[in-house]
Amino acid sequence: MIFYLGVHEPAWLARTAVPLFVSRRRLVRRKSMPRALGSWALDSGGFTELSMHGGWTVPPSQYAAEVRRFRDEIGGLEWAAPQDWMCELFITRKTGRTVAEHQRLTVENLLELRSLAPDLPFVPVLQGFTMDDYMRCVDAYHAAGVDLAAERVVAVGSVCRRQSTSEILTICRRLAGLGLRLHGFGVKTLGLPGLRSVLASADSTAWSMRARRSAPMPGHAHKSCANCLPFALRWRESLLGLLEMPEQISLGLKEW
């Protein structure tokens, strides 16, 4: 499983070669782009967009142009999320739309982005709330002519804020059983040991929250290591060590 370290600072792309997960909302503010030392993936920032505005304010043509700039100027872009629509209850209440509408809009956006920019690595995102929802989303992609089993990766959305790790595991196992290479958006680190056999990749920014709750690293003058690359890299190494442990042991450990 490839683990993408979620980061708040785009400049870190030029400071480390470990796989990074970076939000479009962070990159779009910059006048100049860092040159990546390694590979990375792009988060569209959809949760923030929908929670703030109740819908996407960025036209697909603008988003595609931004992603092309990121790819060309930064280098190393493995894939980019489309402008998907999350299905958490908080978000559907904000948008006033149904889960089915969010799924339709997610599928339609991928098709539009690929039509506008067939050279860019946009990947499908499966959105839903229940298991049946996710299976209906799979069917919607197939009906639209998207062969999910042939995709480099298929991201699973609306899971990072769920409280039930077993529910996430059940959903991902079912989807992986369809022959899909899955990416888990912001999967809780507590659940990663159980998911490592069914996910091709995952991302997390949990290191930042852990840093806020901890004293700074020895020799660090800042009040918190919540935006500290050495802390993030040390946390990542610890997490990778956890993932190498036998599953029955690692599942008994606390959230990272």
Structure confidence by residue, pLDDT tens digits, 115-146? 999 999 999 999 999 999 999 999 999 999 99
Please give the pLDDT value at position 253: 43
Fold of the CATH domain 2-250: TIM Barrel (3.20.20)
Instruction: Round the average pLDDT of the chain to a whole number and report it.
Output: 91
Q: What is the C-alpha to C-alpha distance for residues 155 and 124, in angstroms, rounded to an integer?
A: 6
User: Among residues of the chain, what percentage have pLDDT more than 90?
Assistant: 71
- Band of residue 252 on the pLDDT scale cut at 50, 70, 90: very low
Task: Please tell me the distance from the alpha carbon of residue 14 to that of residue 20, in angstroms, as a whole number.
Answer: 11
| Whole-structure pTM value | 0.91
Q: What pLDDT, on a 0 to 100 scale, did the predictor assign at position 28?
A: 95
169 vs 12: CA distance, rounded Å: 31
Residue with tokens 């480099």: 152
Distance from C-alpha of 40 to C-alpha of 256, rounded to nearest angstrom: 22
Query: Can you tell me which residue has the tokens 């708040």?
Result: 8
pLDDT > 50? residue 249:
no
pLDDT of residue 245: 64
Cβ burial, residue 109 (10 Å; 0-12/13-18/19+):
buried
User: Could you give the CA distance from residue 168 to residue 199 in angstroms, rounded to a whole number?
Assistant: 11
pLDDT (average), residues 154-179: 84
Per-residue tokens: 138:
């799979």
In the block, tokens 């590979």 appear at 39
Rounded Cα distance, 186 and 209, in Å = 13
Do the Cβ atoms of 251 and 194 come closer than 8 Å? yes
Task: Give percent of the chain above pLDDT 70.
Answer: 93
pLDDT level of residue 164 (50, 70, 90 thresholds): low
